[in-house]
Amino acid sequence: MALSASPVEEEPQPGNDFRNHLATAVRSINWSYAVFWSVSSTGGPGVLTWKDGFYNGEVKTRKVTNSTTQLTADQLALQRSEQLRELHESLQLSAECGGGDHRGRPPRPVAALSPEDLGDTEWFYVVCMTYTFRPGQGLPGKSLVKKEHVWLRNAHLADSKTFPRVLFAKTIVCIPLMDGVLELGTTESTMEDPDLVNRATTPFGELQFPAACTEEPNSSPSANDTGEYSDIIVFEDMDHTAAMEAMISEVHELRKVTDECLPHANVKEVTMEINELYSICEGLDVQPLEDDWISIDGLLEVPPSPEPSPEVATDNADHTLSTPVDRYRLTSFTPWTRSDTDDVGVTATGREPQKLLKKVLSGGAWANNGGGDGSTTRTSTQESGIKNHVMSERRRREKLNEMFLILKSFIPSTRKVDKASILAETIAYLKELERRVQELESTKELSVSRPTASVLRRHGHDDEVVRSRKQVSGAKRKKGSELDAGGDRQKDQHWVRSKDGPSNVSITVADKEVLLDVQCRWKERLIARVFDAVKRLHLNILSVQSSTLDGLMGLKVRAQFASSAAVAPGMITEALQKAISSKP
């Protein structure tokens, strides 16, 4: 496979002049990195490969070299870039060498930096070195084709077609320059600024490059002022290394495939490749990779410590998603940035917010009358149906509460206001009231009985009578004429009488007609005796009304005097009384 490592290998000492220009360019606009992609013959016609770069971003660790020369900040930065490139080289070479036992391996080129020294942006920078772009592919490719600069803002949100390298840098600009493309990137989201483009490309203005040259730029290898690479760290061989290399090569393959496939949006192929990759990763028990990245995690699991510990690698591999913040993992999510509010995303303007959620919570898809057709008008009426129910339920409750209060107002001296107490006190009060009523009624009976007795007495003595007496309630009938005695006796008699059963007689005389009203406890042959008595009194019976109530017989007789002689009512009464009281 054509790796971009090849041209780099042929050029052990990249032109420091050129790099200085890159450094100046990037510093002038204060961005994070500058990379120059050059059109190289090795990759194919017009293919852009990583040529040189300058890293101006965050540095995670500063490797102190044994160099005695004091390095300026600039030089340190240059050195850093060089170190990053070297690291990349060494990784590439280890990938190239392939698997096998480590004993027979030639000593590999060493890098001043080890993988864990790098921060995220630095890693990105390293990764960039592996990329190649066909004409029109990716941002640099497009820029080359269009021969004008391409500005990509919010790169992290771009789809993988536009910008296959989903990465940190928020803003990227690619400017066609000389025989390649200058790419500048920053971790901040910046508005497009043509002036910035100009500033960046100014340093390169004076450099002369042969137009037809597809080789490395003809720059003089200047003195090595980037410091000595005297600190040597040997890459320890790992059991996993072989596997890692296989993975790296696979990733390259995959990347190429995706680079090829993406313009045609052939997701299936990509998926297949991804699946293949996953199967490899499965076997290695390491984290699966994002298709565009080198296995950064995998490399991090290869610590160049004297005691290689495969456990460390496995631990990292078993690192679960308890922190989904780990950005290099395979994820649908992208890191969040605070971008302008009118950018990106679907703003639901004018639409009802939380529409479906509200529908769910309203319980409005069904109503008392069963399911509907799903029309929205029906839904709204159903919703209002539910609301009505709720409202009526609430009204009912309020009504109940009101009535409790009213009930409370009837009860004397309750201090408690809760419903249970109100009810309990009401019950007690009602019982109390009933008892009193019973008591009163029983005493009222007695007081009521006296007036009737006196009336009857009078009646008994007074022959002129036009009195229709109200019937006392059934339980309290008394015989009238026997209440001659005093109060006590009356009472006794009353009681006595009540044992026998009450009875009373009333007579009403009007002209020739006599109305006899007899009420007494029914006894055998009572009516016969009454009629006998009536006959003896020489009264002709015109009509009879009889009724029984609770064993009490009521007789209403209309009679006429048979002869012209009127009989005294008192005598009639006496006779009747006799009749009904006589023992059978």
Partner 1 sequence: MDLPKPTSTAASSAGTETPNPHAFTCELPHSIYALAFSPTAPVLASGSFLEDLHNRVSLLSFDPVRPSAASFRALPALSFDHPYPPTKLQFNPCAAAPSLLASSADTLRIWHAPLDDLSASAAPPELRSVLDNRKASSEFSAPLTSFDWNEVEPRRIGTASIDTTCTVWDIDRGVVETQLIAHDKAVHDIAWGEAGVFASVSADGSVRVFDLRDKEHSTIVYESPRPDTPLLRLAWNRFDLRYMAALLMDSSAVVVLDIRAPGVPVAELHRHRACANAVAWAPQASRHLCSAGDDGQALIWELPETAPAPAPGAPAVPAEGIDPVLVYDAGAEINQLQWAAAHPDWMAIAFENKVQLLRV
In the complex, the smallest distance separating the C-beta of residue 322 from partner 1, rounded to whole angstroms, is: 5
Q: In this structure, which amino acid lies at residue 113?
A: L
Contact flag: residue 279 with partner 1 (CB under 8 A): yes
Contact flag: residue 282 with partner 1 (CB under 8 A): yes
Residues 338-367, interacting with partner 1 (CB under 8 A): 338, 341, 343-348, 351, 353-366
Q: 582, 561, 584: which is closest to 572 by C-alpha?
A: 561
- Of 154 and 573, which CB lies nearer to partner 1 in the complex structure? 154
**DSSP H or E stretch at residue 24:** helix 16-29
Contact flag: residue 146 with partner 1 (CB under 8 A): yes
**Count of C-beta atoms within a 10 Å radius of residue 87:** 24
Among 167, 257, 274, 553, binds partner 1 (CB under 8 A): 274
**Token pair for 310:** 């495969």
- First-last CA distance in the chain: 141
Contact flag: residue 549 with partner 1 (CB under 8 A): no
Half-sphere exposure of 10 (CA within 13 A, CB side): 12
Residues 291-310, interacting with partner 1 (CB under 8 A): 291
Stretch that binds partner 1, among 36-44, 190-198, 430-438, 525-533 (CB under 8 A): 190-198
- Of 221 and 371, which CB lies nearer to partner 1 in the complex structure? 371
Among 161, 431, 436, 444, binds partner 1 (CB under 8 A): 161
Among 160, 266, 384, 414, binds partner 1 (CB under 8 A): 160
DSSP 8-class letter at 111: B
Bridge-partner residues for 391, per DSSP?
none
**Token pair for 238:** 């790992």
Among 42, 63, 102, 209, binds partner 1 (CB under 8 A): 209
Among 312, 386, 472, 567, binds partner 1 (CB under 8 A): 386
Contact flag: residue 527 with partner 1 (CB under 8 A): no
Q: Give the max Cα distance, the chain.
A: 172
In the complex, the smallest distance separating the C-beta of residue 545 from partner 1, rounded to whole angstroms, is: 51
Rounded-to-integer distance, Cα 278 and Cα 582, Å? 123
Q: 444, 520, 461, 452: which is closest to 490 by C-alpha?
A: 452
Among 148, 188, 441, 550, binds partner 1 (CB under 8 A): 148
DSSP 8-class letter at 462: -
- Of 138 and 502, which CB lies nearer to partner 1 in the complex structure? 138
Among 158, 246, 424, 472, binds partner 1 (CB under 8 A): 158
Contact flag: residue 415 with partner 1 (CB under 8 A): no
| 357: alpha, beta or left? (left if phi > 0; alpha if psi -120 to 50) | alpha
Half-sphere exposure of 551 (CA within 13 A, CB side): 9
**Total interface residues for partner 1 by CB under 8 A:** 89
In the complex, the smallest distance separating the C-beta of residue 135 from partner 1, rounded to whole angstroms, is: 16
Contact flag: residue 169 with partner 1 (CB under 8 A): no
Contact flag: residue 495 with partner 1 (CB under 8 A): no
Among 26, 157, 302, 516, binds partner 1 (CB under 8 A): 157
Binding mask 320-339 for partner 1 (x = CB under 8 A): xxxxxx----xxxxxxx-x-
Among 21, 80, 134, 149, binds partner 1 (CB under 8 A): 149
DSSP 8-class letter at 66: S
Rounded-to-integer distance, Cα 572 and Cα 562, Å? 14
Stretch that binds partner 1, among 66-74, 205-213, 233-241, 490-498 (CB under 8 A): 205-213
**483 burial type by CB count under 10 A (0-12 exposed, 13-18 middle, 19+ buried):** buried
Among 319, 378, 491, 538, binds partner 1 (CB under 8 A): 378
Stretch that binds partner 1, among 4-12, 269-277, 464-472, 557-565 (CB under 8 A): 269-277
**Count of C-beta atoms within a 10 Å radius of residue 458:** 12
**Count of C-beta atoms within a 10 Å radius of residue 496:** 12
- Of 54 and 151, which CB lies nearer to partner 1 in the complex structure? 151
**Count of C-beta atoms within a 10 Å radius of residue 360:** 11
- Of 355 and 431, which CB lies nearer to partner 1 in the complex structure? 355
Give helix 569-581 / helix 526-536 axis angle, nearest 10°.
Answer: 150
**3 burial type by CB count under 10 A (0-12 exposed, 13-18 middle, 19+ buried):** buried
- Of 166 and 233, which CB lies nearer to partner 1 in the complex structure? 166
